[in-house]
Amino acid sequence: MPIAYLLLGSNLGDRTATLQAAVAELGRTAGPITAASGLYETAAWGLTEQPAFLNQALEVQTSLSPAQLLAACLAAEQHAGRQRLVRWGSRTLDVDILLYDDLVLDTPTLQLPHPRLPERRFALLPLAEIAANAVHPGLGCTVAELLAECSDELAVTRVTGEPR
């Protein structure tokens, strides 16, 4: 079965409870969660005048196609009350597919690997916790190498949880 890596983010409401509920839902809809990072707090990226985010990376063993996995991620966001009002704005839940096996895909609705992964420390740090040796199929380097080369200076702080 394919392995996908997801990044969860929340900066509205009870962020921890939202991420916990999303992990449970994605475990039911996307496939077994085989690894989960701790929680990381980060100032908002892009649109910076908003509350800090909690982020968590997940490894999912999925039987879903990339499009089906995207649909499961969007459904989890909707169940958490996500409203898409402003790009990079505050949100109850954001779920991004970072990597899907060694697939490179570019469609109008989904790009894999996530196109901004190499420039986002808030995604790379939790991902490196659970998949440091995963290879970015478009760039041919590991997540750990991407993290070491990342020029994003936004502070990312691990706040809780042991990886599983």
82 is an active site residue: yes
Q: Which residue in 15, 28, 82, 87 is the catalytic one?
A: 82
Pick the catalytic residue from 15, 91, 120, 121.
91
SS3 90: coil
| Number of Cα atoms under 13 Å in the Cβ half of residue 145 | 9
| CA–CA dist 67, 43 (Å, integer) | 30
Catalytic residue (one of 14, 87, 96, 106): 96
Query: Is 96 in the active site?
Result: yes
Pairing of strands 141-142, 156-160: unpaired
15, 94, 121, 152: which one is catalytic?
94
Ordered alpha helix ranges (H), 9-111: 15-29, 66-79
101 is known as an active-site residue = no
121 is catalytic: no
Residue pair 98/57 in contact by the 8 Å Cβ criterion: yes
Active site residues: 82, 91, 94, 96
